[in-house]
Amino acid sequence: MRRNQGHIGGFTLPAFLILLVASFAPTPSTAKESLRDLADKQGILFGAAAGTAFFGRDSTVFKANLEKEFNALVAEYQMKFGQLQPTRGDFNWAAGDRMLAFADTNRMKLRGHCLVWHKEAAWLETTTFTKEEMFAILKEHILTVVGRYKGRIPQWDVVNEAISNNPDSTYRDTFLFRRMGNEFIDSCFRWARQADPDVQLFYNDYWNEGLGPKSDKVYNLLKGLKDRGVPVDGVGLQCHFRYDSLPSFADMDTNIKRLAQLGLKVAFTEVDYRILLPATPEALEKQKEDYQGTLQVCLANPNCKTFVIWGVTDAYSWIPASYPGWGAGLLLDSAYAPKPAYDGIWTGLGGVSDGILVPGTPLRGARPFFPGWFGTGSWDALGRALGRR
Split at pLDDT 50, 70, 90, the class of 375 is very low
> How many domains are there within the chain?
2
Are 225 and 320 in the same domain?
Answer: yes
Segment 284-294 mean pLDDT: 98
Amino acid 32: pLDDT = 80
d(CA 95, CA 255): 35
**Whose CA is closest to 207, among 177, 167, 260?**
167
Residues 215 and 284 in one domain: yes
Least-confidence region, from 65-74, 228-237, 256-265, 345-354 = 345-354
**Are both 247 and 388 inside the same structural domain?**
no
Structural domain containing residue 380? 360-389
Is 270 known to be catalytic? yes
At residue 372, the pLDDT reads 29
Judge whether 5 lies within some domain: no
Q: Is residue 12 part of a domain?
A: no
Out of 161, 209, 285, 289, which one is annotated catalytic?
161
**Residue 316 shares a structural domain with residue 383:** no
The pLDDT of 143-157, averaged and rounded, is 98
Question: Which of the residues 67, 69, 209, 270 is marked catalytic?
Answer: 270
Instruction: Tell me: do 256 and 297 sit in the same domain.
Output: yes
Q: How many helices (H) and strands (E) does the chain have?
A: 16, 14
Please list the alpha-helical segments (H only) found in 70-130. 81-84, 94-105, 122-126
Strands 200-205 and 155-160: parallel
Q: Sorting pLDDT into bands at 50, 70 and 90, what band is 387?
A: very low
Q: What is the mean pLDDT of residues 116-143?
A: 96
The answer on 135 and 102 residing in a single domain is yes
Are 232 and 375 within one domain?
no
Using 50, 70 and 90 to split pLDDT, how confident is the model at 121? confident
285 has catalytic annotation: no
Least confident interval from 5-9, 51-55, 201-205, 351-355: 5-9
pLDDT surpasses 50 at 17: no
Q: Are residues 58 and 104 in the same domain?
A: yes
Cα-based distances in Å from 164 to 131, 174, 232, 384: 21, 10, 20, 52
When pLDDT is averaged across residues 180-191 and rounded to a whole number, the result is 97
Residue 3 lies inside a defined structural domain of this protein? no
Q: Residue 26: pLDDT above 50?
A: no
CATH of the domain at 79: 3.20.20.80
Identify whether 262 is part of a domain: yes
Phi, psi of 222 (to 5 degrees): -65, -40
Query: Over the chain, what is the mean pLDDT?
Result: 86
